[in-house]
Amino acid sequence: MARHAGKAPDAKAVAAAAAGIWSRVSAQLAPVIGARGVDVLIRRSVHLTSTAFPWLQLAEDHENDVPVLESLTTQLASQDASTAADVSRALLMTFTELLATLIGETLTERLLGPVWAPPPMAPQQETGK
């Protein structure tokens, strides 16, 4: 999370980093378990994680269909940076454990490996010397 949020991030930066990670998770998993499957696992992860962080709740109002990740990002951004980072880590761990329970650890590692890999380093620009 830290390498995605930057140095000394605020809650909005942590929330944005978490949203980026969740987007990559969804992109990796949707072809395998479907977008609805990803959504269900995220919702279940939020529910389980909310036992430790009671403020973490997703609206169950299906008429006002706010996307899960949008709701989650808004909630994270409203916390302090440390809490947002702690919740993001806990939520990702819970999600990964649930997924591993369903499809096995090996396949989970293979599917989510690209998400956890560090971003590629930008090429160094030559100084012309």
Model pLDDT for residues 13-31, shown as the tens digit of each residue: 888 989 999 999 999 999 9
C-alpha of 34 from chain center: 17
- Sign of the Cα pseudo-torsion (77, 87, 67, 64, in order): negative
Lowest model confidence (mean pLDDT) among 43-52, 66-75, 79-88, 119-128: 119-128
Q: pTM, whole model, 2 decimals? A: 0.79
Q: Give the domain extent around 112.
A: 2-116
Residue 123 placed within a domain: no
Is position 124 within any domain? no
- Is 45 contained in some domain? yes
Q: Is 87 contained in some domain?
A: yes
Give mean pLDDT, residues 25-39. Answer: 92
Whether 49 is in a domain gets the answer yes
Task: Count structural domains, the chain.
Answer: 1
Residue 35 lies in a domain: yes
Residue 5: other Cβ atoms inside 10 A: 23
pLDDT band for 9, please (50, 70, 90 cuts): low
Give the 3-state secondary structure percentages of the chain, helix then strand then coil, rounded to 5.
Answer: 70, 0, 30
Question: Alpha-carbon distance 57 to 35, whole Å?
Answer: 20
